[in-house]
Amino acid sequence: MMKKDISVVIPAYNERENIPVLMSQLEKIEIPGKSFEVIFVDDGSNDGSFETLRDLKKRGADIRIIRFRRNFGQTAAIAAGFDHAVGDIIITMDADLQNDPADIPVLVSEMEKGYDVVSGWRTRRKDNLLARKIPSWFANAIISRYTGVRLHDYGCTLKAYKKELTEDINLYGELHRFMPALMSWQGAAIKEIPVNHRQRRYGKSKYDIFRTVNVILDLLTVKFLLSSTKGPMQIFGRMGLWSVLSGVLSGFATIAMKLIKGTDMTGNPLLYLAVFFVFAGMQFISTGLLGEINIRIYSESRGKKIYAIREIL
């Protein structure tokens, strides 16, 4: 594969209407003195996205297409893009047209100033306030606080990375959004810049409140790695969070019964239930972390990928 200066990696899952528009915008991007490639990773789409990509390539579009055997998730798609990219700088972006390709030259310009990671910040985000913005603000504050890498917008896919740093990162679960924090361990110089964000025109968002829960669970893994796969932490961690929440609610109920009805707290079974749920929750979370470490060791020792490719065009 011929060496390029820049690789643009675009995960795509059921974005049939958006892909041709995005490609037409990418073809207008010019960066003087820089060659770049575009890699679409079809993450098991079932709406004809792959066929759309294949038709674009047949009509002469200068793209590479990686097609998964099934839907593995955005992290796996980005990992596949990293593995196959040949550019010295790798730029990731969404296929839903909400990221603006016109920001790519700005990212590259910042990278040329000596930064290892340049992260986009959607200062004027065109998303639903309750479903997307508020959970995102909450998640960004927690991630910044507990990783020590303070960014306003971890969830923005539009980012630029030096290729050499991506080669030493193993992605699992929802860890793609923690890339700046993971790379900070390697001493990466990180810059955050404002980028344009656009309203979704076609298709449906793939994000919901449950992904925010997954982000929080994976944050525990990242925090553990900075001070290990999606399965154990997402299963046991979610059980642990629900258990702790149940314990807190039971505790509040115990206090309320004491204040309102004068019920003796020491004889109230809800108090013991609260203690049980909290300790059980901590045990579940600890089990999830141990499972993450074991699977990471197992997967890395075998060199096993977190995705399976059907074909590459």
**DSSP output for 230-275:** HHHHHHHHHHHHHHHHHHHHHHHHHHHHHHHH---STT-HHHHHHH
With cut-offs at 50, 70 and 90, classify the pLDDT of residue 228: very low
pLDDT at 67: 95
pLDDT at 229: 43
May I ask the CATH architecture of the domain 4-208?
Alpha-Beta Complex (3.90)
Exposed/middle/buried for 187, CB within 10 Å: 0-12, 13-18, 19+? exposed
Give domain limits for the chain: 4-208, 230-302
Q: Tell me the per-residue pLDDT of 50-63, one tens digit each, with 9 for 90 and over.
A: 999 999 999 988 89
Mean per-residue pLDDT over the chain, rounded: 83
**DSSP output for 183-220:** HHTTT--EEEEEE-B----SS-----HHHHHHHHHHHH
176 vs 93: CA distance, rounded Å: 12
Reported pTM: 0.72
Q: 26 — phi, psi (to 5°)?
A: -65, -35
Residue owning tokens 């707290």: 265
